[in-house]
Structure 1
Amino acid sequence: MKNRKLRVLWMVPNIAMYLVFIGLTVFVMLNGEELRKLHLLNSWLLRLALLLIVALLGTFRILSWIRQGKM
């Protein structure tokens, strides 16, 4: 286990991004009809998609660093 603290420092924000994604997904699901009436549903879905993409890219970056031995 090389640089265990560095791994934790990079993983904590990444895990937080997934938790925020889950929380916002629940929010959009619970308030979907109201968001649709206000014409805000598409912007919330776009935000969710972008947040998921950023979280996934962060995960792949961390995994590649671990495989390369940088972490």
Structure 2
Amino acid sequence: MFGFLKRDEGKVINVNDIDNLIGKVELIDIREKYEYAGGSIKSAKNIPMGELLKEPDKYLNKNKEYYIMC
């Protein structure tokens, strides 16, 4: 999907763990804008999945760690 990113098996976290991550990692909410508008985590950046897949270099820095949520 994102060729320049390190690949691993991924990590699934519990929704209760999100509070501990806020401000420490980059949160990306991949829902559509109208879904995001209905409620979101305050620090999460909204980048709809289609946009992220189309132009990953525009939104992602290979030196950062991201948590993707929907």
TM-score range normalised by the length of the shorter chain: under 0.3
The structure where strand makes up a greater share of residues is 2
The structure with higher relative contact order (CA 8 Å, sep 6+) is: 1
The structure where helix makes up a greater share of residues is 1
Bigger radius of gyration: 1
TM-score scaled by structure 1? 0.22
